[in-house]
Amino acid sequence: MGKKIAKEVSIAVADAVAQCRVDVISAYPITPMTHIVEHLAELVNNGELDAEYIAVESEHAALSACIGASAAGARTFTSTAAQGLMFMYEMLYIASGFRLPIVMVIANRALSSPISIWNDHGDVMTMRDAGWIQTFAENGQEAVDLIYHAYKVAEKAFLPVAVNLDGFIVTHVVEPVELLDQEQVDKYLPPLRMKYKLDPKKPITIGAIGVPEIYTEARKAQDEALKASYKIVVQAWREFEKISGRRYNPIETYRMDDAEVALVLIGSLAETAMNAVDVLREKGKKVGLVRIRLWRPFPMQDFLKAIGKVKALCVFDRALSPGATGGPVGIEVRSALYQSNKRPKVLNIIGGLGGRDVTAEDFMELFDRTYSFLKARPRFSYEIYGVKE
């Protein structure tokens, strides 16, 4: 095993990418992911990483270059955030439709307007339907571990993987992080072997036109592949646990054994929420926390099992869907519950937008409001939290 070293998380993530022996890195810098690709550029320039580094003119070009390189059989990496992800948007669907094992880190950041460089999940929630496998890290160690995992999964499922880190809150924090030994990485992640790739010696067609007679079938095949990737995701985590001792699951819980009400969320705020759970538990309140690690494919059965027999859920979204009936996670949770016999009440709170602080005290207040919501008539309600009048 490696030893823990204090590192900025962005630097540690770049080191993990390098350990995966990537062949091509293509990126255009944008706050707050810049340190990741800057460090990778340094590693390539210093001869510490044998890879092609492509400095492109835009995020659209960055993912386009990754698509071409991946289609030719190269292990590829890129990273972006917020407006950069929006500029990539056309290519997101092409990468997944081509079934290319690209790995991308998204340093989650609020979308304009107004201009914000701070963290929320507005950017990644726009790509829910882009056909990518998507995971979320809560801290630096998880961010590093999910990089190794992403390549393992992408190259088994032949689908692109997006690893999400909360911008600044995770990316720019210095934490003790344990990287795997290179021998462990090589054993966990063997060289990429593409059954179908662009090769002048064996010409194939990739991305041909999909006439109406076959388009639906092609899209269904893509959907089935994404659903089938669930087993690959879980198996890759089990294999990772054997070499690292660190266990990951699609849905993870905290003090849920006898919980009456529970908070549901994604990302780094889970650690703040755990403090709120501990304080309320000491006061005799049966509260718990459900954390979503795997966002796509959505692990519905894991989620339904995790919530147990709770009477009410407070789903905390860090993204707003203007004009919708809730936040992206709240809508997903209601959809899952509708397909089951479990029907706890759901209070959907949209908060932490644009980097606004959410404290343990805020979560304690939301737990109290969830208890009060048990007595309310509606089964579902949502609101934007902390609006200044």
CA distances in angstroms from 112 to 34, 58, 120, 384, listed in the order given: 18, 18, 12, 18
Angle, helices 212-244/89-97, rounded to nearest 10 degrees: 90
**Among residues 197, 216, 244, which one ends one of the domains?**
244
CA distances in angstroms from 173 to 8, 10, 32, listed in the order given: 5, 8, 12
Res 95: pLDDT: 98
Judge whether residue 222 has pLDDT over 90.
Answer: yes
> Could you tell me if 290 and 253 are in contact, meaning their C-beta atoms sit under 8 angstroms apart?
yes
Same domain, 156 and 13: yes
Same domain, 277 and 136: no
Judge whether residue 2 has pLDDT over 90.
Answer: no
Judge whether residue 334 has pLDDT over 90.
Answer: yes
CA–CA separation, 151 and 223 (whole Å): 20
CA–CA separation, 71 and 61 (whole Å): 15
Same domain, 276 and 191: no
- The whole-number average pLDDT for the span 85-97 is 98
Angle at 52 between CA 135 and CA 20, to 5 degrees: 40
Judge whether residue 15 has pLDDT over 80.
Answer: yes
Res 3: pLDDT: 82
Give the range of the structural domain holding residue 44, as residue numbers without chain letter. Answer: 4-244
CA 119 to chain centre: 14
Same domain, 53 and 179: yes
Provide the pLDDT confidence category of residue 82 given band limits of 50, 70 and 90.
very high
Number of domains in the chain: 2
- 239-260: pLDDT as tens digits: 999 999 999 999 999 999 999 9
Same domain, 134 and 168: yes
Let me know if residue 389 belongs to a domain: no
Res 18: pLDDT: 98
Let me know if residue 147 belongs to a domain: yes
Res 103: pLDDT: 99
Let me know if residue 21 belongs to a domain: yes
Same domain, 265 and 199: no
Residues written for the chain: 389
Provide the pLDDT confidence category of residue 389 given band limits of 50, 70 and 90.
confident
Same domain, 240 and 255: no
> Could you tell me if 67 and 100 are in contact, meaning their C-beta atoms sit under 8 angstroms apart?
yes
- 338-349: pLDDT as tens digits: 999 999 999 999
CA–CA separation, 32 and 334 (whole Å): 32
Same domain, 41 and 128: yes
Res 1: pLDDT: 58
> Could you tell me if 80 and 92 are in contact, meaning their C-beta atoms sit under 8 angstroms apart?
no
- The whole-number average pLDDT for the span 134-138 is 98
pTM (2 decimals)? Answer: 0.98
What is the overall mean pLDDT for the chain? Answer: 97
**Among residues 229, 244, 259, which one ends one of the domains?**
244
Let me know if residue 158 belongs to a domain: yes
